[in-house]
Structure 1
Amino acid sequence: MHGFMKAARFGLASAGLLLAGLVTAMTLVQPARADEAAPAATLTIHVENVSKGGIVRLGLYDEHGYRTENAKPVASADIPAVEGETVIVLRDVPPGTYAIETYQDVNSNDKMDLTWLGLPLEPYGFSRDARPILSKPGFAKVKFALQAGEQAQTLHLRSGVSILASK
């Protein structure tokens, strides 16, 4: 009898541990509820005035990243240029206030080519089609609100020559 009671107690204890383990495991693998998941946005960017050849390089920046030299963008894309219009889709972007910087790397050398005065030699653009005057436009001129769901932005590339012509 003593051996049986010992075995029964061990069996109950094991069953209890097993049950506790299963409950814990079920809690850990339970899918997140919809109200706990952060909403995401899909941003479609229509880059117009694209010339033939090269790569359209685009960065999506928050305010801090936009103002900081060599900052990592929140999202980026390097897409082969499609003459006329290149469409870039950024998925799973957290909602927020952002700015877009883009340029067409016509010679595919992974950098924006500049004149000796620092003016762009390759086509470039900013969100809200902001025009720079001797430096990139401030965040207030390029910012836009990105909300959960799908949203689109259109911007037009311009060349360094158009900086001088736009005054």
Structure 2
Amino acid sequence: MHRLVLLLALLSSAAASHAADLSIQVDGARGDGGSVKIALFDSADRFLKRPLHSASAPVRDGGATFALKDLAAGQYAIAAYHDADDNGKLDQNMMGIPVEATGFSNDALGNMGPPAFEAARIDLPQGGNAIRITLR
């Protein structure tokens, strides 16, 4: 029993030592109403489909700040948008083009659509990282 407790303690401390924090500043919201939504993706297969983590914060001074804690070091991409009417979805026109401001890590831009995961990919080292996303 003591060995099991010791093993669990060692594993949890090892996992904690490999955790990294990611600070995300999102700027460029059109006005101070609504909220900024972000989604964190850890692979091209999941990109824009199944986020690993998502968060929302009220817009203040044209942007929002997020602090994602205890992530595994690795490669990620972040998508963000200004949910100006706070309806919980990205509003689009009849052609499917977003009418609310959007942005991606690396300020990546797509060609006639969202960027690829590779264009938006950032590195998150064990020491953490801080990035800025500009909504357009």
**Fold conserved between structures, TM > 0.5:** yes
Aligned-residue identity in percent:
34
The answer on whether the counterparts of 2:37 and 2:55 sit within 8 Å (CA) in structure 1 is yes
Whole-angstrom CA distance in 1 between matches of 2:91 and 2:71: 29
Whole-angstrom CA distance in 2 between matches of 1:29 and 1:77: 34
The one-letter code sitting in structure 1 at the alignment partner of 2:71 is V
Give the TM-score normalised by the residue count of structure 2. Answer: 0.87
Aligned match of 2:24: 45
Aligned match of 2:37: 57
Q: Please tell me whether residue 131 in structure 1 is matched to residue 105 in structure 2.
A: no
Structural mapping, 1:30-41, within 5 Å: 30=6, 31-32=9-10, 36-37=14-15, 39-41=18-20
More helix by share: 1
Deviation of 1:35 (Å): 7.2
Q: Identify unmatched segments of 5+ residues in structure 1.
A: 1-23, 159-167
Q: Identify unmatched segments of 5+ residues in structure 2.
A: none
Give the TM-score normalised by the residue count of structure 1. Answer: 0.72
From the CA coordinates, give the structure whose radius of gyration is larger. Answer: 1
Q: CA RMSD in A?
A: 1.8
Whole-angstrom CA distance in 1 between matches of 2:56 and 2:117: 22
Q: Match of 1:37, SS? A: helix
Aligned match of 2:67: 89
* Higher relative contact order, structure no. (Cα contacts within 8 Å, ≥ 6 residues apart): 2
